[in-house]
Amino acid sequence: MAKPLHEPGAVVDGFRLEELVHRGGMAALWRVSRPGDTTPMLMKVPRIGEAADPAAIVSFEMELMIMPRLSGVHVPKFIAAGDFSVQPFIVMERIDGQTLLSKLSELPLPFAQVAELGAKVARALDDLHRQHVVHLDVKPSNIIIRRSGEAVLLDYGLAHHDQLPDLMQEEYRVPFGTAPYMSPEQLRGIRNDPRSDLFALGVLLYFFSTGIRPFGEGERLSTMRRRLWRDPYPPRYLRPDYPPWLQEIVLRCLESEPAWRYPTAAQLAFDLGHPDQVKLTARAERLMRDPWTTVLRRRFNKDLTRPHGKEAVKAQLISAPIVAVAVDVSEGSTDLNEALRVTAGRILSTLPSARLACLNVLRQARLALDTTLDAEGRNKHIERMVALRHWAEPLKLDESRLTVHVIEAIDPAAAILEFLGANRVDQILIGARQSSMLRTLLGSVSAKVAAEAPCTVTVVRPSRAIEPEGAGPKSA
Amino acid sequence: MTKINARWDWLTEAAAAGVTIVLIALFADIHANRQAFSACLQQARADGVERIVLLGDYVGYGGDPEWAVDTVMDLVVHGAPAVLGNHDEAIGNPHERMNVEARVAIEWTRGVLGASQRQFLAGLPLTFNDAGRLYVHADASKPGSWIYVASTAQAADSIAATPAHITFCGHIHRPALYSMSPTAKMTAFIPTADVAIQLMPGRRWLAVLGSVGQPRDGNPAAAYAMLDTDKRELTYCRAPYDVEGAAAAIRRHGLPNSLAERLFKGE
């Protein structure tokens, strides 16, 4: 069917093979060029023919189906594909840089660096999950950081697309993936849970921050299956200086039951980006593994992880949005703040996995004379945090669902917009200030946010009776 | 008497002009639902369809069998391949096994249709081969036995019975897509509406279409499919339609009320 042999200098469908970059069990990677095109490109050619792994063909078919549908900075740009029946190949953007595999000699990395790297990968996963894809093979060799800083996820040969037939699922009874990173549910043959990628990222974070793989390197199925019931050593057991917030995040990713992990990659990225806001639970305190009694109970509990229905990836993401609310805690906004709270409460009560980020912008003057202390020497920043928590208190949210953020900025709208983009916020609630001197002078923050936000914007105003034009307040 | 209806001339014009047919719309289980089939045809035409394929069960259940058969006859005159469904067969065969409601509707339909319409239905083939594609109402292994493709095993039987790269069928009123790899491994998939699926040439496919006139997958919108032969892409489509109107036609003719009710829920 296909000619498996390629030589440097050969031309395939207009692409000139320059250099063999990698030859793996499933495919070979060539650096290729095309006249009049300066894009750095790679060609992936599957190993097909005698002695080839039959999975190579299926995994290549999956990649061929999935890659052309992906877009954005977190995936290699798809350029071309060869006719499968003539010469199968995929040409894609070649990302400048090295995979995270190159970091292995430097492990363990400093905690802050691990968190930063983890947040980048989590944002990339969030973007991928929003495109209906679960990667299912997240590991250092499949991640490259662009020069511009974004993580890129490589290799979609084991991936699952929520809206396409999963050729891997039915084809093989044994699970596919990379042993040290594979989630317990993947071992059970479940391929449509985006939280499997969060487990793999948890393994990577654990490994990068301790230098040790939490579940070893075992490739044997019996060894791999142990993670279904056996928890890893807490990182603090290995490194006494391990920060509790990072242990909280890492162990939450490594929970054997997907429902106990972060509900979305965006929520994980959020915590990695705000260590001071991570809600610490018993996970953060643990110094030892679970006692054997607990392990045995898990060992014989067959009830864990039932398969999901159709379009599970989408359903999981929709159920766990990050909702931001911009609250003006200065006096005179009582009605508006109440309306904001009611609206936030409606969303949060219908979605138990949603989380709320309360924002307040502490306006800075353009001249750099500002201090964070006011005339009476009080810390304005802390006062605002306290006021935000007070505003949110009636919502009675579990602490793990609530964060407060005071942002110091000259331009409130720009600061809010930046927060929304950086934190993958799904929806922002913002109050429409009624006619005020400030609004006349400064323009409307809500209008600018509504026009430019990368997410849904809900402009909230207190309900009131409509009065005839120019009538002004009067008694009936 | 076959009436030639000029409103389908665009179908033959494309073929006559020698243009390669790329976009094919496929319809199964129309079941005399005028409102549903009209909505599908309108939507498919707006999307640039160049050829129409009809997968059987034009009558039964619904209140507009004459219109449905006339429309199908027109489309066939204009080049549309059409195969026989079990309800179409039952018009000429009173011994066909059916549930009570289906039988009530078929007996009423038999009385309503004219001789030429009944003759047309009786003359339809069980299968139709179209450039590597097989069209059949129920399943390819025993087309006249009206087997429901309700499992991967039944899908495998159908695929194994034909050399066709893609088989299109209906009958079960619930959309599904099956494939068989060169090593005879099966995949099963419930398609998402409006998402194009590339039918990889290395494997063989069985596309089970949802129903135009009586959807049963919990979505009341009419179901059909579009195939892009150039890109080898199949899209399962849904067309919302005037369910009230279709239900009213069923009730007007005194057919079982449950046949009208189920249209609202698509079950």
Q: Is the residue at A4 inside a domain?
A: no
Mutate to test the interface with A, among B165, B166, B192 (most CBs of A within 10 A): B192
Q: Are A59 and A168 in the same domain? A: no
pTM of the model: 0.85
pLDDT (tens place) for every residue of chain A, 476 residues total: 444 457 888 998 999 999 999 887 778 899 999 999 999 999 999 887 655 667 778 888 899 999 999 999 999 999 999 877 778 899 999 998 889 999 999 999 999 999 999 999 999 999 999 999 999 999 999 999 999 999 999 999 999 999 999 988 766 656 677 888 999 888 888 889 999 999 999 999 999 999 999 988 766 666 677 777 778 899 999 999 999 999 999 999 999 889 999 999 999 999 999 999 999 998 998 888 887 777 767 666 555 444 445 677 888 888 889 999 999 887 667 888 999 999 999 989 888 889 999 999 888 776 555 565 665 656 888 888 888 999 999 999 988 899 999 988 888 899 999 999 999 999 999 988 765 555 555 568 888 999 999 999 999 988 776 666 555 444 44
| Minimum Cα–Cα distance from B233: chain A residue | A65
Q: Are A404 and A453 in the same domain? A: yes
Q: Are A142 and A73 in the same domain? A: no
CA angle A211, A213, A215 (to 5 degrees): 160
Q: What are A355's strand-pairing partners? A: A322
**Rounded to whole angstroms, what are the CA distances from B199 to A64, A265, B179, B207, B231?**
11, 31, 9, 10, 9
Q: Looking at residue A426, which CATH number applies to its domain? A: 3.40.50.620
CA distance B138 to chain A (A): 22
Q: For residue B165, list chain A residues with Cβ-Cβ distance below 8 A.
A: none
Max alpha carbon distance in chain B (Å)?
A: 53
Domain-ending residue, one of A93, A124, A156: A93
DSSP E strand boundaries for A172-275: none
Q: Are A73 and A139 in the same domain? A: no
The CA distance from A461 to A95, in Å, is 47
Task: Note the pLDDT of residue A74.
Answer: 97
Q: Are A122 and A204 in the same domain? A: yes
Q: Are A135 and A253 in the same domain? A: yes
| Minimum Cα–Cα distance from B187: chain A residue | A170
Contact with chain A for residue B152, Cβ under 8 A: yes
DSSP tag of A277: G
Q: Is the residue at A337 inside a domain?
A: yes
Q: Give the sign of the dihedral formed by CA A343, CA A344, CA A345, CA A349.
A: positive
Instruction: Identify the architecture of domain B22-129+192-202+209-265 in CATH.
Output: 4-Layer Sandwich (3.60)
Q: Are A105 and A168 in the same domain? A: yes
Interface touch A165/B187, C-beta < 8 Å: yes
Q: Is the residue at A1 inside a domain?
A: no
Q: Are A332 and A429 in the same domain? A: yes
Q: Looking at residue A64, which CATH number applies to its domain? A: 3.30.200.20
Task: Note the pLDDT of residue A187.
Answer: 84
| Minimum Cα–Cα distance from B196: chain A residue | A164
Interface touch B192/A163, C-beta < 8 Å: yes
Q: For residue A311, list chain B residues with Cβ-Cβ distance below 8 A.
A: 192
3-state helix, strand, coil in chain B (%, to 5): 35, 20, 45
Q: Write out the H or E segment, with its range, that includes residue B128.
A: strand B127-130
CA within 13 Å, CB half, B198: 18
The CA distance from B140 to B126, in Å, is 9
Give the mean model confidence (pLDDT) for residues B64-82. 96
Q: Is the residue at A465 inside a domain?
A: no
What confidence tier does B2 reach under pLDDT thresholds 50, 70, 90? very low
The CA distance from B63 to B247, in Å, is 8
Dihedral of CA atoms A282, A285, A286, A291 in degrees, nearest 10, equals -50
Q: For residue B186, list chain A residues with Cβ-Cβ distance below 8 A.
A: 170
Q: Token digits for A108?
A: 């363990």
Domain-ending residue, one of A59, A93, A127: A93
DSSP tag of A308: P
Q: Are A225 and A108 in the same domain? A: yes
Q: What is the tally of structural domains in chain A?
A: 3
| Minimum Cα–Cα distance from B234: chain A residue | A164
In this predicted structure, the answer to whether residue B47 has a pLDDT above a threshold of 60 is yes
Query: Smallest Cβ distance to B187: which of A64, A84, A171?
Result: A171
Quickly count: other Cβ atoms within 10 Å of residue B260's Cβ: 21
Q: Is the residue at A240 inside a domain?
A: yes
Task: Note the pLDDT of residue A1.
Answer: 40
| ipTM summary value | 0.83
Render the burial of A227-248: b for 16+ CB within 10 Å, e for the rest: bbbebbebbbebbeebbbbbbb
Domain that residue A288 falls in: 100-303+311-316
Render the burial of A80-106: b for 16+ CB within 10 Å, e for the rest: bbbebeebbbbbbebbeeebbeebeee
Q: Is the residue at A127 inside a domain?
A: yes
Domain-ending residue, one of A93, A109, A141: A93
Q: Are A294 and A330 in the same domain? A: no
Q: Give the sign of the dihedral formed by CA A104, CA A105, CA A111, CA A112.
A: negative
Q: Is the residue at A6 inside a domain?
A: no
Q: What are B225's strand-pairing partners? A: B26, B236
Q: Token digits for B170?
A: 């209906």
Residues 6+ apart with CB under 8 A from B132: B164, B165, B166
Comparing A471 with B166, the larger pLDDT belongs to B166
Task: Note the pLDDT of residue A378.
Answer: 65
Q: For residue A171, list chain B residues with Cβ-Cβ distance below 8 A.
A: 181, 185, 187
In this predicted structure, the answer to whether residue B195 has a pLDDT above a threshold of 70 is yes
Q: Are A180 and A120 in the same domain? A: yes
Indicate the SS3 state at residue B7: helix
The CA distance from A163 to A160, in Å, is 9
Q: Are A379 and A449 in the same domain? A: yes
| Minimum Cα–Cα distance from B198: chain A residue | A65
Contact map slice: B 46-65 vs A, CB within 8 A: none
Q: Is the residue at A74 inside a domain?
A: yes
CA distance B169 to chain A (A): 18
pLDDT in tens, B205-249: 999 999 999 999 999 999 999 999 999 999 999 999 999 999 999
Query: Smallest Cβ distance to B195: which of A57, A85, A163?
Result: A163
Sheet with A90-93: strands ordered across: A11-12, A15-23, A27-34, A37-46, A90-93, A78-81
